[in-house]
Amino acid sequence: MVPAVPTSARLLAHAALRQLRYGRLEVVEAGQRMAFGPPGADLRAEVRVLDPGFWRSLWRGTVGLTERWTADAWDCDDLVALGRMFVRELPSFDRVRRLLVPVQRAVRLIPRNTRFGARRNVAAHYDLGNDLFTLFLDETMTYSCALFERPDATLREAQEAKLDLACRKLELRPDDHLLEIGTGWGSLAIHAASRHGCRVTSTTISREQHQLASRRVQEAGVSDLVSVVLEDYRELAGRYDKLISIEMIEAVGWQYFDIFFRRCSELLRPDGLMLLQAIVIADQAFEAEKASKSFANTYIFPGGCLPSREVIRRCTSRHTDMTAVDSEDITAHYPQTLRHWRERFMANSERVAGLGYDRPFRRLWELYLAWSEAGFRERRLGDVQVLLAKPAHRAARPSVSRASALA
């Protein structure tokens, strides 16, 4: 028998679910089963309601669903399919969500990335503990989209292929001084120094990353070439031949995109090159997403905001003297990358628990990795590599792009 708690919330939710167009959702509660959406839909998922408070959470969007998920109020047999199903429905709600942006901006629901705020927000994710990330990343400790050149490539091979492609696009030479904004755990800096012999200055504001990256640089025998510094990109000085930033811009915050691109341009020599790898949101969704409160910018990446391709174009043209000379869309590789990470995370669940991370945390990260995969599979999210050149740069080789990322 279905519990008689939040009847009105349940009835309203049922009415909304009957409008599903792009997936078949079966809901099981107290032994009863209800189906929503077209029977022949290609996406199917089953949700088991374990606490009737689940129905109220639906009206709080992904934040509410996440909170009830971590509290074991509901379960699902295929989180990726469920995420894809709702991603397909999102365009219908984007117009309404855009109307809420001024209100949410006024009450500051989303943390801002001031110099102090950025350090706090980055620490909330990247300072969770290096041991946690070693349990699901590959041996290079690369936390960004890989490049699977073969279907049977290992995660490490795919990450090394991505690092190699990035270095080739920058035409790295031994006499170059490369600036990296967003160290991660040092994989790019080590790769660039050991394979191409260039000097690298890499900056991060995560103390945990700074500590481990510095140690890994020493262990790799490239400490004479690589310097890892603990500085905000806004505080950097000097001029560099090349600049790279791999999936760091997502932590900048939409209020600071113009400052980020301007600083990058100022830090490059007149003939310099910059490679930006960025997770992007669909252009049509940017205004709705940028100041909306979501599970991602609340529980995973506080203060985070994905740029869109149009935002990158606009910031580059308005705030820099750089020109996009090469672009590549590598979105198709992210679902496989995320699947590897999620499988590793789940396989190491007991070890994650042994590090002190409780069940709500583990369920939160399972949801984060699954719903991220859903977003990339549906191309609500994308991943692009954009090569930007200063006015005096003269290309030494033809474009290596395989697909236009900014077209």
213 vs 124: which has the higher pLDDT: 213
The C-alpha angle with vertex 389 and arms to 386 and 391, in degrees rounded to 5, equals: 155
* In a domain? residue 212: yes
Higher pLDDT, 206 or 9: 206
133-142, 193-202, 301-310: lowest mean pLDDT where? 301-310
pLDDT at position 402: 45
170-203 per-position pLDDT tens digit: 999 999 999 999 999 999 999 999 999 999 999 9
Cβ-based burial of 6 (10 A; exposed 0-12, middle 13-18, buried ≥19) = middle
Q: Does residue 99 register a pLDDT over 60?
A: no
Question: Does residue 44 sit in the same domain as residue 165?
Answer: no
Same domain, 140 and 215: yes
* pLDDT more than 70, % of the chain: 89
Rounded distance between C-alpha atoms, residue 187 and residue 277, angstroms? 15
Give domain status of residue 296, yes or no: yes
- What local confidence, expressed as pLDDT, does residue 230 receive? 97
Instruction: Return the residue matching tokens 């945990």.
Output: 208
Q: Is pLDDT above 50 for 237?
A: yes
Number of domains in the chain: 2
Owning domain of residue 60: 7-89
Smallest CA-to-CA distance from 276 within 262, 259, 258, 264 is with: 264
150: exposed, middle or buried (C-beta count within 10 Å: 0-12, 13-18, 19+)?
A: exposed
Q: Considering the domain boundaries, does residue 301 fall inside one?
A: yes
Q: Which of 378 and 293 is assigned the larger pLDDT?
A: 378
Q: Got the DSSP string for 349-372?
A: HHHHHHTT--HHHHHHHHHHHHHH
Same domain? 76 vs 145? no
Max CA separation in the chain (angstroms): 74
How confident is the model over 311-367, as pLDDT tens digits? Answer: 999 999 999 999 999 999 999 999 999 999 999 999 999 999 999 999 999 999 999
pTM (global) more than 0.85: yes
Query: Between these two residues, 103 and 8, which has the higher pLDDT value?
Result: 8
Please answer whether residues 383 and 278 qualify as being in contact, where contact means their C-beta atoms are separated by less than 8 angstroms: yes
Q: What is the pLDDT of residue 97?
A: 54
- Which of 142-146, 159-163, 300-304, 314-318 bottoms out in mean pLDDT, i.e. has the lowest? 300-304
CA atoms of 163 and 172, how far apart (whole Å): 12
**Mean pLDDT across the chain, nearest whole number?**
90
Domain contains 125: yes
Would you state the pLDDT for residue 124? 78
Q: What is the mean pLDDT of residues 16-34?
A: 94
Note whether 13 and 136 are same-domain residues. Answer: no
- Tell me, yes or no, whether 407 lies in a domain: no
Q: Is residue 1 in some structural domain?
A: no
Could you tell me if residue 172 is inside a domain? yes
Same structural domain, 41 and 83: yes
User: What pLDDT does 397 receive?
Assistant: 47
Q: How many CB atoms lie within 10 A of CB 96?
A: 9
**Domain identity same for 131 and 42:** no
> Who contacts 256 (Cβ-Cβ below 8 Å, separation ≥6)?
113
| pLDDT reported for residue 121 | 75
**183 plus 243 within the same structural domain:** yes
Question: 274: domain CATH number?
Answer: 3.40.50.150
Q: Which of 47-51, 153-157, 390-394 has the lowest average pLDDT?
A: 390-394
In tens, the pLDDT along 372-394 reads 999 999 999 999 999 999 999 98
Based on the domain organization, do 132 and 40 belong to the same domain? Answer: no
Residues 133 and 201 grouped into a single domain = yes
In a domain, 376, yes or no: yes
For residues 130 and 197, state if they share a domain.
Answer: yes
Identify whether residues 54 and 134 lie together within a single domain. Answer: no
Which residues fall within 8 angstroms of residue 300, CB to CB, at 6 or more apart?
Answer: 125, 364, 368
Other beta carbons within 10 angstroms of residue 284's beta carbon come to: 13
Please check whether residues 50 and 119 belong to one and the same domain: no
Structure tokens at 352: 């994650």
Q: Of 52, 74, 89, which residue sits at a domain end?
A: 89
